[in-house]
Amino acid sequence: MSFLTLSNIQKSFGPVQVVKDFNMTIEKGEFVSFLGPSGCGKTTVLRMIAGFESPSGGTIAIDGKSQQNLKPNQRNIGMVFQAYALFPNMNVADNVAFGLKIAGRPKAEIDARVKEMLSLIHLDHLAERYPFQMSGGQQQRVALARALAPKPQVLLLDEPLSALDAKIRVSLREEIRMIQQQLGITTVFVTHDQEEALSISDRIVVMNAGRADQIGKPAEIYNRPATRFVANFVGTLNLIEAKVVDPAANRVTIGDQGVTLRESIGGAKAGDTLSLALRPESGSIAPDAKGDTALSGKVVSSNFLGSVIRTRMDVGGHVISFDMFNNPGIAPPSAGQTVALKFTASELLVIRD
């Protein structure tokens, strides 16, 4: 049975509905990310799980128990926020002990648990420090330890890394994932950063205007985006308009070049327009554009991005970007040059809305 269940959750603030029929089941020990642009309702869903907001409709259950009539302090939930929300007048050990003290646990138990938590986040040596004496990354590790100390059933993290600089963000997200797996704690992680969500989640919920557009494993979300929104939001993508030529044979044209799709487009009629998606890392430069899944075009520009070179080419008025790995021995394509891009049929997705 699933551990955390959100059924038909809705939330309105006055006349504005910001969460619309949100459904999700999360397994025990699973790490799920809510991914979406600012304002799509991620924090609102998280706050409803924690009990800081009550849903306008729907139910939330944890381990089979409805949370409806439980106040936040009656729910067994740990939460970490974006801004460092440590108590500034308490040292690290007292911050981590806070939840246990409120719960009235015996002092010996609290001391042991604080020690255990500080060792988990590798900050044993900073127990006496105050928040202002620590870096942002260290403060967020303490916030994590404070949330975990009372052994919550569910851990909620609301963009915990977004105030940190890039290097720390990457190392801390990996640390969070490791700790989560070590404890086996059911976790919901909110982020607007697709790379963050793709790299550490068991599953991702891509949210769009208060709805879950797609729920799936990172590779499913990336390789098989269900909607135009997901395709655009997760990763860089070429959206290409194609004209249907022969629906029975899945033949279309891009510009004036014919391409065969792998997906059936049997429902379409000759002359219809279809949206196709192609990731820039799909395909590679070929000597010619022979075959059913190749396009030739004129290079518009080539940008050196470090590990990859992104080239934009014009195919009959459609600009398509593609990437190739940097190779110091090979000159990148130059503007004006004609190149051929070869890919496999499965890399060209049909986007249906």
Per CB under 5 A, residues contacting Mg ion are 43
Q: From the CB of 40, what's the least distance to Mg ion, in Å?
A: 9
Number of chain positions touching ligand ADP (CB under 6 A): 10
**3-state class of 170 per DSSP?**
helix
Closer Cβ to Mg ion, 38 or 89, answer by number: 38
Closer Cβ to ligand ADP, 34 or 222, answer by number: 34
Closer Cβ to ligand ADP, 18 or 286, answer by number: 18
Structure-token match 């049975």, residue found: 1
Q: Quick check: 18 binds ligand ADP (CB under 6 A)?
A: yes
Closer Cβ to Mg ion, 208 or 296, answer by number: 208
Task: List 9's β-bridge partners, or say none.
Answer: 22
Give whole-number Cα distances, 135 to 40, 119, 138, 140, 141, in Å. 30, 18, 5, 9, 10
The kind and range of the H/E element at 220 are: helix 218-223
Q: From the CB of 214, what's the least distance to ligand ADP, in Å?
A: 16
Contact 308, 350 (CB under 8 A): no
Question: Site mask, ligand ADP, residues 123-152, x = CB under 6 A?
Answer: ------------------------------
**3-state class of 302 per DSSP?**
strand
Q: How far apart are CA 148 and CA 78, in angstroms?
A: 6
Closer Cβ to Mg ion, 172 or 207, answer by number: 207
Contact 229, 221 (CB under 8 A): no
Q: How far apart are CA 349 and CA 249, in angstroms?
A: 16
Q: From the CB of 83, what's the least distance to Mg ion, in Å?
A: 11
Q: From the CB of 189, what's the least distance to Mg ion, in Å?
A: 12
Here the tokens at position 93 are: 């050990």
Give whole-number Cα distances, 169 to 141, 161, 200, 311, in Å. 12, 6, 12, 29
Contacts of 123 (CB under 8 A, 6+ apart): 92, 138, 141, 142, 145
Report the 10 Å Cβ neighbour count for 102.
10
3-state secondary structure 49-83: HHCCCCCCEEEEEECCEECCCCCHHHCCEEEECCC
Handedness of CA 305, 221, 25, 183 (dihedral sign): negative
Residues 28-67 that bind ligand ADP (CB under 6 A): 36, 38-44
Q: Which does 191 bind (CB under 5 to 8 A by kind): ligand ADP, Mg ion, none?
A: none
Closer Cβ to Mg ion, 83 or 289, answer by number: 83
Q: From the CB of 18, what's the least distance to ligand ADP, in Å?
A: 4
Q: Which does 39 bind (CB under 5 to 8 A by kind): ligand ADP, Mg ion, none?
A: ligand ADP
Residues 247-306 that bind ligand ADP (CB under 6 A): none
Nearest to 202 by CA among 24, 32, 319: 32
Q: Quick check: 163 binds ligand ADP (CB under 6 A)?
A: no
Q: Which does 316 bind (CB under 5 to 8 A by kind): ligand ADP, Mg ion, none?
A: none
Q: Which does 52 bind (CB under 5 to 8 A by kind): Mg ion, ligand ADP, none?
A: none
Closer Cβ to ligand ADP, 42 or 141, answer by number: 42
Contacts of 290 (CB under 8 A, 6+ apart): none
Closer Cβ to ligand ADP, 42 or 342, answer by number: 42
Q: From the CB of 328, what's the least distance to ligand ADP, in Å?
A: 42
Q: From the CB of 156, what's the least distance to Mg ion, in Å?
A: 12
Q: How far apart are CA 347 and CA 293, in angstroms?
A: 9
Q: Which does 18 bind (CB under 5 to 8 A by kind): ligand ADP, Mg ion, none?
A: ligand ADP
Q: From the CB of 219, what's the least distance to Mg ion, in Å?
A: 26
Closer Cβ to Mg ion, 47 or 310, answer by number: 47
Q: From the CB of 157, what's the least distance to Mg ion, in Å?
A: 11
Q: Under the rule (CB under 6 A), what is the footprint of ligand ADP?
A: 13, 18, 36, 38-44
